Amino acid sequence: MARNKNAFQCENCGVRLSKWAGQCPDCKGWNCIVETAAESPSRARLGGYSGQLSNEIKDLSSIDDQSVERLPVGVGEIDRVLGGGIVPGSVILLGGDPGIGKSTLLLQLVAALGARSRCLYITGEESLEQLGMRGRRLGLDLAAIRCLTETSVQQILGHADREQPRLLVVDSIQTVFTELLESAPGSVSQVRESAAALVRWAKEKGCCVVLVGHVTKEGALAGPRVLEHMVDTVLYFESDGSNRYRVVRAVKNRFGAVNELGMFAMTGKGLKEVKNPSAIFLSGHSKPVSGSIITVVREGTRPILLEVQALVDPSHLNNPRRVALGLEHNRLAMMLAVLHRHGGVALSDHDVFINVVGGMRVTETGADLPMLLALYSSFRDRAVEDRMICFGEVGLSGEVRPVHDGEQRLREAAGHGYTRALVPAANVPRKSLPGLRVTPLNHIADALEEIFGPGKK
């Protein structure tokens, strides 16, 4: 058998070499030379293209505005994250920690969609017997699941051409290899070339392809960074490991909202949808306690009620601890400085702990105000009133700034029975909401006075 004549290319500067080297001779970078398939002379030809062109250039105004019909998968939370269903010809990359439930979720998805459309599940990590055992344990309709054990991308595409599925699942991209390269499966060059072949096939055939990706110890998707650029949608399967709830978050989506979130609960029968996430994150206190504030954050298109807890305790250390779980550590440091400057409270000799109940991760600025009020409440050991929520961004001069979609957040809070809201003045709705008293705020001094009373700050 003739040996493939492959080339080597630098990932940083793109220079091509005839053999592998530890250091790039051009950019001097280390460990950046990877194997790549050699181009044919016709592809490598310089100077213009002498053959017949297959397409023609058009004005964008001449393109008909035809909306693409999405295919709902039958799992409501996945449809929400994807923006209403899968788009034909799209490529989705799903990543997550080992054992979090990626294969379980996709097997349930194929079973739900397989009853209506032809689907194909390709596994390179399990045998068909293991896949069948899992399907029986989950109580799925095994007759609706078409599956195959294969790792060669050429074999996979050959079976897919014959099967003609609407959905193709490849579990996982790190186990797939192309016969054009001699490197081991899972290497940078194998992952890139195999994913590129699957992406080209998906665009040509109009089939949605779902790729399962492994993650590194840092939580990023393993393999080349270009993998995330090649696909249309990148989903992360997240969990803090201490509870049974799982979060599917869209970090890239060409056909829907970014940072959209879907909630699942892991049970003995697989992953179950959580259609009201706010209910699992709300406080279970029988009476108000100090250091606890309810806020409303925005995750994609969904408002979610969360409880922010703070604990401020005198420290005997030279460097008091600052611990933030679910919130950004830098924003905690900023709120402590604002509280000192504009609230008259110095916590330089106190340990400060702040946490978002339920293991959620909040990155938006709307959590500034509840974070600051929770810190103040814990320091003074004074509980805020029951059935009250707040949200808002806090500036360095102490002003309370508005956040987006304020009215929708207030409607979510009113729907859960909350009767009072402290919000930025610009977020006050034009029409009052039934059962909810909204108090506008312009400065953190207004918030401290509203909650703890004048002269008692």
Residue pLDDT, tens place only, 352-393: 999 998 778 898 999 999 999 999 999 999 998 888 999 999
- Has residue 37 got a pLDDT over 80? no
**Cβ neighbourhood burial of 446 (10 Å; 0-12, 13-18, 19+):** middle
pLDDT reported for residue 454: 63
**CA 164, CA 151: separation in Å to the nearest integer?**
19
Of residues 163 and 1, more confidently modeled: 163
What pLDDT band is residue 218 in, cutting at 50, 70 and 90? Answer: confident
Q: What are phi and psi of 167, to 5 degrees?
A: -135, 130
Q: Looking at residues 151-176, what average pLDDT do you find? A: 94
- Has residue 98 got a pLDDT over 80? yes
Digit-coded pLDDT (tens) for 59-82: 888 877 666 788 898 888 999 999
What pLDDT band is residue 4 in, cutting at 50, 70 and 90? Answer: low
Structure tokens at 148: 């195959």
pLDDT reported for residue 74: 85
CA distances, 393 to each of 17, 226, 403 (Å)? 52, 35, 7
pLDDT reported for residue 283: 58
Structure tokens at 122: 């390709």
pLDDT reported for residue 50: 61
Digit-coded pLDDT (tens) for 185-217: 888 889 989 999 999 999 999 999 999 998 887
Digit-coded pLDDT (tens) for 272-297: 998 888 877 775 677 788 999 999 99
Digit-coded pLDDT (tens) for 230-268: 999 999 998 866 678 888 999 999 998 888 889 899 888
What pLDDT band is residue 184 in, cutting at 50, 70 and 90? Answer: confident
- Has residue 99 got a pLDDT over 90? no
Other C-beta atoms lying within 10 Å of the C-beta of residue 158: 12
**CA 389, CA 377: separation in Å to the nearest integer?**
14
Q: In what order do the strands lie in the sheet with 388-390?
A: 322-325, 350-356, 302-314, 292-299, 388-390, 420-424, 437-441
pLDDT reported for residue 401: 96
> What is the model's pTM?
0.77
Q: Looking at residues 14-41, what average pLDDT do you find? A: 78
